[in-house]
A = this chain, B = another copy of it.
């Protein structure tokens, strides 16, 4: 289903094209702004659109849009890193504050995977570095090369 690249991963643009076969994903008009398949990281940008809000003229994002954006970003970095489909086992979103009338950026990374599960983290922020939501999920990587990924020092890998 997903073409493997020699370097063991797949480009964010290739994954984006794959994901966009879904009408649901097409509802979210996001772009890839940074990626590192070897590190298992990707950053996506979602320009503000009133279609994403709860009540249009107030401009507050619907929580479901943020949940979907987290799911897409987390899944994308796992597929990039493993070069295979990575079904979601579970997904969690923490809403820190409500974004309003602002473009959102999703910084996603995959933690080093075990034999069968990869954990991915997503930070939803704006260009000024205000954090609006945190995402975390477990993804099935049973058929992946994820166990080949290096472990990074906690300073880089950690939550600060």
Contacts and interface: CB of A to CB of B under 8 A. Distances in A.
Interface string A22-48: 111101000000000000010000000
Within the oligomer, what is the number of copies of this chain?
Answer: 4
Majority DSSP secondary structure for residues of A touching B: mixed
A55 B116 contact: no
For chain A, the bracket of interface size reads 35 or more
B107 A154 contact: yes
A91 interface: yes
Contacts of A140: 116-117
A130 to B, nearest CB: 6
Contacts of A109: 159-160
Nearest to A111: B96
A58 to B, nearest CB: 10
Contacts of A121: 134, 159-160
A68 B115 CA distance: 25
A55 B18 CA distance: 9
Given A22-B53, A130-B151, A92 B95 contact: no
B138 A94 contact: yes
Closest 3 CB pairs of A and B: A121-B159, A64-B68, A129-B153
